């Protein structure tokens, strides 16, 4: 199966173009756009880990190492498209125009963090694994019924493909030709379980065969490969040709969340090696150096700009009063059931408040 689903690349890890038909796509302007966006989201990620360690936000899910997969997909979207992220795709949401302040508010436990800017169709981050996959199929089908050309992208990890929601969502999308791109960031571990222990399939892309939809496998650290295949899949979706499953082979350097310790189940020397050899930002730096256009002053400037932008968003986030945990009872159902009301009353009594 791996021969039937080869890993597609545009640019190899040394910054060399290996798919000649896309050579014109890899321009100085494009490389700098992709690079600067990846610097922005990596800066957010590192800052967020630091904030969690200081107790300024709650448990956080890092994504460093997966920047190419998130930037390449987000930049392929049109403004009216839908985005269905997981708890690890705030980099993609940031690139697609989500409020940085609200992204941080989400990690600080406030409901405002689930609210995208006016006009942006960004679903709240899915915490339960794979539940957003059927949602994306339905939202995309609704766009089709309305007669628009809008499409949806749905993110998930390799672990989600072991959930029933994955199969239900892909089956629905296939049957009804929903204009949706299913984008799997295969970072090769579902928390502590390596992919070899959670499935017997050689690839995730081959799972598309069961639903008679295209399945492609790409180098998820090659931002151009990500952009090219996502754009192709979105074009198919807009043309009424239905969904596509993309498997992006990538790697997350850090732990599953800040509440996890990856060294307990994963050889961290492998992460160190991948950081030196296959890092998505390093790949673009190689290209710029190969072309003689690498500019240290520019790299420093965009890093400083990203840090200032994120520091400003942190100040905004911290200007809000602390989150009220009692609101979790208010949004389970449109009208609270007696059981929810009882739980809220008991919670308030426990705190010494009034029901």
What does the pLDDT look like over 302-313, one tens digit per residue?
999 999 999 999
% the chain with pLDDT above 70: 99
| pLDDT exceeds 60 at position 354 | no
From the candidates 22, 265, 294, 347, give the one annotated as an active-site residue: 265
pLDDT value, residue 194: 93
pLDDT value, residue 325: 87
- What mean pLDDT is predicted for residues 163-186? 98
What does the pLDDT look like over 64-91, one tens digit per residue?
999 999 999 999 999 999 999 999 999 9
| pLDDT exceeds 50 at position 34 | yes
Report yes or no: 143 and 169 within 8 Å, Cβ to Cβ: no
283 is catalytic: no
User: What is the pLDDT confidence band of residue 355, given thresholds at 50, 70 and 90?
Assistant: very low
- List the chain domain ranges: 7-322, 324-355
Cα-based distances in Å from 326 to 109, 121, 338: 11, 27, 16
Ramachandran region, residue 295 (left: φ > 0; alpha: ψ -120 to 50; beta: rest): beta
From the candidates 90, 256, 283, 286, give the one annotated as an active-site residue: 256
What does the pLDDT look like over 1-23, one tens digit per residue?
788 999 999 999 999 999 999 99
What is the topology classification, in CATH, of domain 7-322?
A: Rossmann fold (3.40.50)
HSE, CB side, 13 Å, CA atoms: give it for residue 240. 5
What does the pLDDT look like over 226-263, one tens digit per residue?
999 999 999 999 999 999 999 999 999 999 999 999 99
Q: Helix crossing, 280-290 with 223-238: angle to 10°?
A: 110
98 is catalytic: no
From the candidates 110, 217, 236, 252, give the one annotated as an active-site residue: 252
Q: Distance between CA atoms of 23 and 282, rounded to whole angstroms?
A: 19
87 is catalytic: no
What does the pLDDT look like over 189-201, one tens digit per residue?
999 999 999 999 9
- What mean pLDDT is predicted for residues 264-292? 93
- What mean pLDDT is predicted for residues 135-155? 98
Percentages (nearest 5) of helix, strand, coil residues in the chain: 50, 10, 40
């Amino acid at each position: 199966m791996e021969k039937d689903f080869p890993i597609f690349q545009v640019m190899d890890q040394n910054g060399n173009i290996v798919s000649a038909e896309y050579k014109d796509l890899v321009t100085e302007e494009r490389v700098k756009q992709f690079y600067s966006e990846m610097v922005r989201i990596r800066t957010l990620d590192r800052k967020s880990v630091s904030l969690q360690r200081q107790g300024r936000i709650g448990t956080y899910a890092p994504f460093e190492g997966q920047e190419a997969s998130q930037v390449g997909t987000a930049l392929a979207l049109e403004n009216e498209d839908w985005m269905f992220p997981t708890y690890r795709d705030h980099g993609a949401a940031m690139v697609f125009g989500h409020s940085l302040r609200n992204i941080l508010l989400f990690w600080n436990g406030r409901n405002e963090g689930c609210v995208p800017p006016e006009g942006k169709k960004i679903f709240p981050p899915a915490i339960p694994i794979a539940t957003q996959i059927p949602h994306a199929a339905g939202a995309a089908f609704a766009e089709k019924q309305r007669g628009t050309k809008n499409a949806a992208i749905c993110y998930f990890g390799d672990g989600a493909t072991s959930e029933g929601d994955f199969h239900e969502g892909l089956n629905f999308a296939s049957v009804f030709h929903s204009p949706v791109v299913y984008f799997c960031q295969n970072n090769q571990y579902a928390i502590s379980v390596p992919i070899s222990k959670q499935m017997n399939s050689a690839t995730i892309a081959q799972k598309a065969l069961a639903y008679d939809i295209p399945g492609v496998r790409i180098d998820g650290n090659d931002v151009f490969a990500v952009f090219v295949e996502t754009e192709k899949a979105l074009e198919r979706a807009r043309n009424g040709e239905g969904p596509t499953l993309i498997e992006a082979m990538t790697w997350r350097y850090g732990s599953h969340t800040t509440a996890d310790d990856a060294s307990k189940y994963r050889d961290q020397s492998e992460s160190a090696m991948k950081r030196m050899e296959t890092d998505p930002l390093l790949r673009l730096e190689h290209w710029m150096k190969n072309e003689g256009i690498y500019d240290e002053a520019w790299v420093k400037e965009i890093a400083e700009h990203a840090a200032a932008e994120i520091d400003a968003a942190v100040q905004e986030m911290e200007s809000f009063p602390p989150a009220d945990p009692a609101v979790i009872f208010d949004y389970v159902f449109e009208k609270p059931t007696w059981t929810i009301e009882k739980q809220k009353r008991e919670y308030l009594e426990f705190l010494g408040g009034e029901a």
